[in-house]
Amino acid sequence: MPLALTTPGVYVQELPSGSRTITGVSTSLTAFVGQALRGPVDVPTRIFSFADFERGFGGLWTRSPLSQSVRHYFLNGGREALIVRVVNREVPSQDAAAAASVVLPVATSRMLLRATTAASAVSGFHQLEVTSVPTGATTFDVTVEAQDVDGNVLTDAGGDFSYTVSLDTTGNISAALAAATTGNTAAITLVELVGPAPTGAPDAATSTSFRASGVHYVALSRTASMKLVATSDAQALAGFDHLELVVRNVVGNTFDLDVTARDGSGVVLDDGTSAATYTSRSTWPATSRPRWRRAPARVGFNWSSSMARR
């Protein structure tokens, strides 16, 4: 109660001490903050065993010190823990995007040559060697040699069983090949076109014939570099380390592309709903951008293409 101050002087007023009891709280609850393979982000989640952590956050992961800490916590008698999973939300840099990219060769045009009956009948014939040299977008030179088992060019009294012929994909390649002959005494044609003519000049290459059903064949192809870059959604996946890309069932300029997002240990990433993988039937040049669908983000790759001779 306040004192009544009626005259000047010194007054003394005693107040209660104001001490209060400190309420006890549990000191056995430990919080862990860090990366995990999957699970809710920025939300404290209470767990009571490492089995709970495996179900909710994916268990042990080589890139997660948190997972190791939680495991040892429960191994050493821990009974209860709070887990807060965090992720890197920064936009990947150009360097990061470059590190998550791959360049695949894709055959966009193919020319199949077959040894003629006359070539196969040459004494000592073992194989053909064909060298293609592009001289323009549609023009190229082809050098053909008939060789023995040691890779030596076969000859007769008049010279070698070889010649070079200039071809143009806008012209009649089949007729041009049929008209080319060796400059020696035999004067024979060594190769003929099998199937459709190429749509572009083949890459610079030297190829040796392969034998199928007793007939020798040589395949020349034109390739393009197809660069696939992981999207920002893919790189933002918890645990993302790299993309695995597999090209299958190539038919002309159409192919199947298997795309899988994996962690540093090679495990396929999974958000708990579906695995981060899909197969797309694609056509070169690329006209679509297939994606693995998950809510709310989409994960896949960006196309970046350019023609390049190898």
pLDDT, tens digit, 9 for 90 and up, residues 140-185 = 999 999 998 888 999 988 899 999 999 998 999 999 999 999 988 8
Q: In the prediction, which pLDDT does 51 show?
A: 93
Q: In the prediction, which pLDDT does 82 show?
A: 93
C-alpha dist (Å) from residue 25 to 22, 29, 108, 133: 9, 10, 71, 82
Please provide the average confidence, as pLDDT, over all residues in the chain. 77
Write out the H or E segment, with its range, that includes residue 277. strand 277-283
Question: Taking the model in full, what pTM does it have?
Answer: 0.43
Q: Residue 113 in contact with residue 192, Cβ under 8 Å?
A: yes
CA-based R_g, the chain, Å: 36
Write b or e for each residue in 67-81: b if 16 or more Cβ atoms lie within 10 A of its Cβ, otherwise e: beebbebbeeebeeb
Residue 298 bridge partners (DSSP): 293
- What's the full length of the chain, in residues? 310
Q: CA-CA distance, 115 to 177, in Å (whole number)?
A: 11
pLDDT confidence band for 14 (50 / 70 / 90): confident
Q: In the prediction, which pLDDT does 197 show?
A: 83
**What is the token pair recorded at 198?**
């190429």
Pairwise pLDDT comparison (181 vs 235), residue with the higher score = 181
CA angle 288, 200, 176 (to 5 degrees): 155
Which of 54-63, 156-165, 235-244 is the least confident region? 235-244
Residue 291, SS3 per DSSP:
strand
Residue 249, SS3 per DSSP:
strand
> Cα(first)–Cα(last) distance of the chain, in Å?
98
Q: CA-CA distance, 272 to 215, in Å (whole number)?
A: 54
Q: In the prediction, which pLDDT does 189 show?
A: 94
Alpha-carbon torsion (91, 95, 98, 100), positive or negative? negative
DSSP state, residue 309: -
Per-residue pLDDT, averaged over 81-106, amounts to: 58
Per-residue pLDDT, averaged over 95-118, amounts to: 63
Contacts of 209-218 spanning 24+ positions with Cβ under 8 A: 209/115, 209/127, 209/128, 209/129, 209/130, 215/114, 215/115, 215/120, 216/114, 216/115, 216/119, 216/120, 216/127, 216/128, 217/112, 217/113, 217/114, 217/115, 218/112, 218/113, 218/114, 218/128, 218/130, 218/191
**Residue ranges of E strands in 6-71:** 29-34, 45-47
At residue 53, φ and ψ (nearest 5 deg) are -65, -40
DSSP state, residue 270: B
